[in-house]
Structures are given as C-alpha cells and as structure tokens.
Amino acid sequence: MTQFAELGLCEPLLRAISDAGYLEPTPIQSESIPHLLAGNDLLGCAQTGTGKTAAFALPILQRLAAEPRDPGLRGCRALILSPTRELAMQIDECLTAYGYHLGISHAVVYGGVHQNPQVQALAKGVDVLVATPGRLLDLMNQGYCRLWKVEVLVLDEADRMLDMGFIHDVREILAAVPRNRQGMMFSATVPPRIRHLAGEILNDPAEVMVAPSATPVEQVDQRVMFVDRADKRALLCDMVRDLELERVLVFTRTKHGASRLASQIVRYGGLSCDSIHGDKLQSSRDAALRSFKEGRIRVLVATDVAARGLDIDDIGYVVNYDLPNDPDSYVHRIGRTARAGAEGVAVTFCDVDEIGSLRDIERQIDTHLPIVTDQPYHSEAGREKALRMREAPPSRGQSGRGRSRGGRQRSRGRGRSNAMAGD
C-alpha cells in the first residue's frame, strides 16, 4: 500500500501530515501528487470527501517552499479558485495545517464580508491566494490584487463553478494570469463542458479519474421514503427524535424553503436547528456551521450551493427533504456523509410529484433505491406510481445512461479506511 513518504513529499510536509493523524494517501492523492510534483498540468475527477484538497495543496506548498520568490506587492504565486466561501475557507485551513513547518504565506478572499481585512492581507503579497471568483474580480478591478506572478493555477469544484454561472468571471481571471503556469482542475464530474474548459486552462494534462461521474459513495446506505409533502416535516422531526440522531444535514431545493423549514423544525418540532443558504450573512452562516460542528444544533438545513464543500466528517445522516433538480446534485448531497471511510445513511423523502426526479436519479446511479415502508407517513400511492415508472421504458436519449456510468467504475476509487480524506 502506498505511503505518503513514497510520493516524493518533503520532510516538513510529511511531518505535518503525521501531526494531522493521516496514515496513508487516498487514491486521488497517490495518483495526482507525483504528476504535480513533476510540474505537469492535471485534470482530476474525484468526489467530495476523497481528499482532493490535499492532492493539490501538498504539491503547491512543496513547490513554493523549494523555490522561494517574492510574490510582489498585492500579488501571489499560486491562485486557487473556489466556487463557495465555505470551501475557500476550508482550503485555507488545510494550507495552514499542511504548511505548518514551511512558513508559506497564504490568504483567502470571498464575498459577503467587508473587504478591508482582505485588502490588508494582500498588501505585501502572499504565496498562495484562495479566492471565490466574484470577490477576486472586485479586488482586481480596484487595483488591490495583481496576478502577473502566478505560477500555479487551480480551479477546484469546476463543475459546480460552471453550474453557479462563474464561467465569465473565470475567463476574465484567466486573462490576467500568465500563460506559462502550471494548471490544475478538479471536478466531481467531467461532462463535455468541463473537458472544453480544461482545454482552455490546461496544457497536455495528466488525467486522474478515481471515481466516474456521478457514482455514489459506496459506504452510504441509501433509502427512499414515499411521503406526502404535507407530512414531510413531521416525518423528519419524528425520525430525528426516534433514532436519537445527533447530527443531520437536510437539503432543500430553495433558499426560502431552507429558512422556513429550519424555523418550523424549531417551532413545531422542538429540535435545535439552523439553516445556511446564499441569502444569509456570512457571519450567520459561519455561526450555524460552528454550532453544527460543535453539536449545539442537531439539524442543519442547507441548499445545494451553500453546502458545497462542507467538510464535517461525522455527519451520520443526510436527508433529501426536496429532491434535487438534477441527478448529479443527489450524488454531491449524499457525499456529505460516509466521509473518510465512515458509514452513513442518506434518506430521500419523495412526494408523488417528485417521482420523475427520483427515476432520473436511479437511472443515473444505475440502481433502485430501497423503499422504506415501516414509517407512519408512508404514501402507498407514491410507491405504486414509482413502481409503475420503474417498469416503463426510459425516455428518448436516456436509454442505458445509468449502465454506462456504472460500467466505467474503477476499483481504485473505492472506499478506504484510515486515509487522508478531507475535502
């Protein structure tokens, strides 16, 4: 079995990895790090929770430490673009941990907070800058950040970056970065649009595909409960109480729905709960996440965008209160549990009107989710409709989609026990 010492990492990094308690690299790390240490560009496909942050952070830190250079006033040597504030902050935390013995400077910039502290952090330049595209462009346009000395460019969660409409911002940022640079792209899925973007950013990249597009984490126990929409909240509250669940992450489709459900869980369910979504102040989102991590609230309600990149290892249950608009989002959601080799449960509440979306998900993952019937809010009408739809032929253009995805699965991307599997 590969060890971190076999990947060519320097002693200070190995010491930091050991200090963090990691024993062996995950597949995305063991396959990516040698390419990146050799200076190659890279396109990596891996699900959330497989350790991809360390896969690019460790080689960057080693490269910058081996060849110290002045980043220049308001400049940086490595730029990491992230789609969300939460993920950007977590990447910055990883840089702190992994670079503890190297003295590499880094900063993180994102919207939703006052820019003055970020401007001050960039004034003398930093080795590594982690940024969300919108805030970075704001600082660039004001003259507070310059990218002319960037040696390494990372686009993390590239598929979500495009889903959130950041492509124009990304291209504007790319225009300000030197062409002679090392490039990396990481994505949970690699559809044609991601390959097209990779062609713009990367030069003859190595490809590391440790998990195929939209393949669920194997350790997740997936279930579906057919329940009328009006009964969903009561079922959720009863489930949390009856199973004595300590930490449950709940997904809704809309920001308004997340806020409303969180308030109802507290008011009518008597449970400790909060929500995170794009309309909340960053300080409120940070406080909710901190309370959830520390166990002061049992239920956190989130939208897909707000939860992207959450790095909480001990979430035992994920509940799809609303089915997502697209099947790939289902995979991202259930990836919030069963992290770092642990087991987890993902429960999907399905109203009769959502069965079409459920069928799309099952076709995507090439499996039928087991139906839970021994719960008081079970909808027999929903179950019967689902069974009829499962027997119906797929619509035009969708035949065999799930099988082709499942058929490409690679064993090397499967579960691991004591691995370094932060996001």
Domain ranges of the chain: 4-209, 220-394
Q: Which amino acid is at 376?
A: P
Instruction: Mention every residue, 6+ apart, whose C-beta is less than 8 A from residue 151.
Output: 63, 64, 77, 78, 178, 181, 182
| Fold agreement (4-209, 220-394) | yes
Chain Cα centroid distance, residue 27:
17
- Report which of 273, 342, 332, 280 is spatially closest to residue 308, judged by C-alpha positions: 332
Whether this model's pTM surpasses 0.85:
no
Residue with tokens 């806020």: 259
Q: Where are the beta strands (DSSP E) in 206-357?
A: 206-209, 220-226, 248-251, 273-276, 299-302, 317-320, 344-350
> How far apart are the C-alpha atoms of 394 and 42, rounded to whole Å?
36
> How far apart are the C-alpha atoms of 345 and 287, rounded to whole Å?
25
Residue 306's pLDDT is 67
Provide the token pair at 229.
Answer: 């929409």
Residue 414's pLDDT is 33
For 346-387, write each residue's pLDDT tens digit. 999 999 999 999 998 888 887 889 999 888 888 888 888 888
Low-confidence residues of the chain, pLDDT below 70?
Answer: 1, 48, 211-218, 306-311, 313, 338-342, 392-423
Burial (CB count within 10 angstroms: exposed 0-12, middle 13-18, buried 19+), residue 219: middle
Give me the phi and psi of 356, to 5 degrees please.
-60, -40
Instruction: Answer for the pair 307, 249: CB distance below 8 angstroms, yes or no.
Output: yes
Instruction: Mention every residue, 6+ apart, whose C-beta is less than 8 A from residue 321.
Output: 232, 236, 250, 251, 252, 261, 301, 349
> How far apart are the C-alpha atoms of 191 and 213, rounded to whole Å?
8
Instruction: Answer for the pair 269, 337: CB distance below 8 angstroms, yes or no.
Output: no
> Does the domain made of 4-209 have the CATH classification 3.40.50.300?
yes
Task: Give domain 220-394's CATH superfamily.
Answer: P-loop containing nucleotide triphosphate hydrolases (3.40.50.300)
Provide the token pair at 14.
Answer: 């190995």
Residue 188's pLDDT is 82
